[in-house]
Amino acid sequence: MTTPAKRVAELREQIAFHAARYFVEDSPVIPDADYDQLVKELIALETDHPELVAENSPSLRVGAPTSTAFSPVAHGQPMLSLDNVFDESELREWSERLVRSLGREDVELSIEPKIDGLALSILYVDGGYSVSATRGDGRVGEDVTANVATMASVPQRLQGVTSTGRIEVRGEVYIDKAAFAQLNASLAKAGERLFANPRNTAAGSLRQKDSTATARRPLSFLAYQLVILEGHEELAEITGHDQALAALDSFGFSVAPTVRHVRGERAMIDAAGWFEDHRHDLPYEIDGVVIKATRLADRDLLGSTSRAPRWAIARKLPPEERTTTLLSIEVSIGRTGRATPYAVLEPVVVAGSTVSMATLHNQDQVRAKDVRPGDRVIVRKAGDVIPEVVAHVPLAGVTRASEWQFPQHCPECQGLLERTGDESDTYCINPACPAQTREQIVHFASRSAMDIEGLGEQRVVQLLSSGLIRDVADLYALGVETLQELEGLGRLSATALVEAITLSRAQPLSRVLIGLGIRHVGPVAARNIATTFPTIDELVHASSDALAAVDGVGAVIAASVVSFMEDSENRLLLERLAARGLLLREPEQTVDVAQTLTGKAVVVTGSLEGYSRDEAEAAIVGRGGTSPGSVSKKTFCVVVGEAPGASKVTKAADLGIPVVSAEGFAFLLETGEIS
């Protein structure tokens, strides 16, 4: 039987192992959430059995011993860690303790993102860049001065500082999501192994022996703490975190634009909740929210333990990564014939839902991630995105299956699978493949296309296997009498389905174009094409030049439309759809919103309250404007929401393009003017 003493010893050993993998080698083998769980269990056991607390317990320590590759640097003041809470009630308990200790209710609190990167302390002497150090064990870190000097977001001189003294600026080094995706995409293209996640990549990039290697990585730095070690008397006027952040900003650092300064528990809970809701809108990954006492005087009163300050707490957010076993790798065929490998997993709860399948994207990704059946793998599910397998967990002494091979034949029709040129995707090239037919019909009926309610994958499979349909045109010949004979479909639902199909006859031409799944034709191109060629006759005869001239349609889309329309089978299908009563025309646009933004390009950056990214763009386009992804001379204005992209804001400033706040957005839509 495991005794508490044995378990404590076991936990210490495991924590020491994983801490070394995380802090020293930058290649953890378990997700952070699993590590936190181990520490939590150890702390609980040590609290229940104080006799088991050892001086060297990892529960008392911050981080891990430093590696020998870099010279040691002693921090001017210890770099502490943060204690964690995992839900709202634990957060309330923390704030109640704070209120009790300080003896007042409405304590000023600052709420900020807990960026998933690594802590860095930068020493400035007389306002000049001097030494950069990682956290290390909290007292002594590693000297990464040369590497950090290559980072554009770290100023070489503190702007506006003329006094003398020594300051440490602390913050987080990270790689933002977009830069990380780009980095991995270029690695995948080069056939190289991918990075597992932005945090480890940032850590690895910072701890390169050769600083030119660091310079090539897209590292960013966000400052969240100012430590005055000596001199700079004018900075003694800073009495709160809000002022400290403003000072850091004026020195030339980025600070999180989403930091909120509030009073009391209710406002704290709301502000922390905002980060939970907007986690996926932020440009960087966060693993929690940090809540800090704003006033420095309060911080002094509260003090710190050897591990963490009592004046701050990390509210950890539900982990989006988990480990599980990869049972097998299968391949599914999509409507275009694309063969997508996916992982069949031992079910695991990730970010609140059970995951038993996860995409592996394509052949290169499987190779780059080197995952094999039987492996322990890290599974990730962020927001609404499809769960994916991130990497495998290397385990010592375990024999792995041999490398997985992409099948040569389609799992559904046994036809040949083909990969051409430098495409990363593999296709089933049999146009009669039943999987493709099925997926085409499912797509045709889907919400974004013909929107036929009640016609999901299962129903389509049933209709196909009972021989009632062979393609989408057959849907429009279905009657209640036949349908109600099908298993699970009574008269009522058969009638409802026929009605839904009937209704879809009136869908505008643009929806039909989306539904037909013409390569490269998305909703925006479909709408623009159908507006220019509002009847199927006009469209069938449109030249590729005329098509390419349509807004949002280039040569590639134009060629794809022309080749679709020239194909005799597709022509036949269109004729059958027309014969079965489909409208196949684009009704003239009824303009019910004022076209306030006609001819104006409005760039949106950051998240705007009340609008998703798509909704904000739709609001602009719906008023006659365009919403390009980048700022140029032609940009009318830039709408800046929470957590904006720094490059867009800087570019706007450089080009003298007006900037509109989130609040000014409504006015802009309504009037087309800048408030």
**Catalytic residue of the set 6, 40, 114, 316:** 114
Which among 327, 332, 366, 333 is positioned nearest to 348, based on CA atoms? 327
Considering the complex, what minimum distance in angstroms separates the CB of residue 526 from ligand IVH? Answer: 43
Q: Which is nearer to ligand IVH, 26 or 617 (CB)?
A: 26
Interface positions, 89-148, toward ligand IVH (CB under 6 A): 112, 114-115, 118-119, 135
Q: Which is nearer to ligand IVH, 81 or 605 (CB)?
A: 81
601-605 β-sheet, strand order: 601-605, 635-640, 659-661
Is-contact 625 595, C-beta < 8 A?
A: no
According to the binding rule CB under 6 A, does residue 309 interact with ligand IVH?
Answer: yes
Which among 635, 577, 625, 580 is positioned nearest to 605, based on CA atoms? 635
Considering the complex, what minimum distance in angstroms separates the CB of residue 152 from ligand IVH? Answer: 20
Residues contacting 278, CB < 8 A, separation 6+: 258, 607, 642, 643
Structure tokens at 36: 């936190």
Interface positions, 182-241, toward ligand IVH (CB under 6 A): 224
Q: Which is nearer to ligand IVH, 10 or 36 (CB)?
A: 36
**Rounded Cα distance, 530 and 547, in Å:** 10
Given 81, 208, 323, 626, the residue binding ligand IVH (CB under 6 A): 81
Q: How far is CA 640 from CA 260, 608, 613, 665, in A?
A: 17, 8, 12, 9
Considering the complex, what minimum distance in angstroms separates the CB of residue 114 from ligand IVH? Answer: 4
Considering the complex, what minimum distance in angstroms separates the CB of residue 224 from ligand IVH? Answer: 4
According to the binding rule CB under 6 A, does residue 64 interact with ligand IVH?
Answer: no
Beta bridge partners of 339: 333, 426
Q: Which is nearer to ligand IVH, 10 or 83 (CB)?
A: 83
DSSP H/E element including 417: strand 417-418
What character string, x for contact with ligand IVH (CB under 6 A) and - otherwise, covers 279-308? -----------x------------------
**Rounded Cα distance, 69 and 208, in Å:** 9
Considering the complex, what minimum distance in angstroms separates the CB of residue 313 from ligand IVH? Answer: 10
Given 38, 85, 175, 312, the residue binding ligand IVH (CB under 6 A): 312
Given 314, 472, 582, 619, the residue binding ligand IVH (CB under 6 A): 314
Given 80, 123, 226, 463, the residue binding ligand IVH (CB under 6 A): 80
Structure tokens at 503: 């209704």
Nearest residue to ligand IVH on Cβ basis: 119
Residues contacting 204, CB < 8 A, separation 6+: 26, 27, 195
Is-contact 166 75, C-beta < 8 A?
A: no
Q: Which is nearer to ligand IVH, 280 or 307 (CB)?
A: 307
Considering the complex, what minimum distance in angstroms separates the CB of residue 163 from ligand IVH? Answer: 25
Considering the complex, what minimum distance in angstroms separates the CB of residue 37 from ligand IVH? Answer: 15
Binding-site size for ligand IVH (CB under 6 A) equals 15
What character string, x for contact with ligand IVH (CB under 6 A) and - otherwise, covers 349-378? ------------------------------
**Rounded Cα distance, 250 and 155, in Å:** 11
User: Is residue 369 annotated as part of the catalytic site, yes or no?
Assistant: no
According to the binding rule CB under 6 A, does residue 173 interact with ligand IVH?
Answer: no
According to the binding rule CB under 6 A, does residue 433 interact with ligand IVH?
Answer: no
Residues contacting 524, CB < 8 A, separation 6+: 552
Residues contacting 195, CB < 8 A, separation 6+: 180, 183, 184, 187, 201, 204
Which among 370, 363, 426, 369 is positioned nearest to 401, based on CA atoms? 370
According to the binding rule CB under 6 A, does residue 542 interact with ligand IVH?
Answer: no
Q: Which is nearer to ligand IVH, 172 or 439 (CB)?
A: 172
Q: Interacting stretch for ligand IVH, rule CB under 6 A, among 77-85, 448-456, 511-519, 618-626?
A: 77-85
Considering the complex, what minimum distance in angstroms separates the CB of residue 96 from ligand IVH? Answer: 21
**Rounded Cα distance, 593 and 670, in Å:** 9
Beta bridge partners of 512: none
Q: Supply the residues annotated as catalytic.
A: 114
- Contact footprint for ligand IVH (CB under 6 A): 80-82, 112, 114-115, 118-119, 135, 172, 224, 290, 309, 312, 314
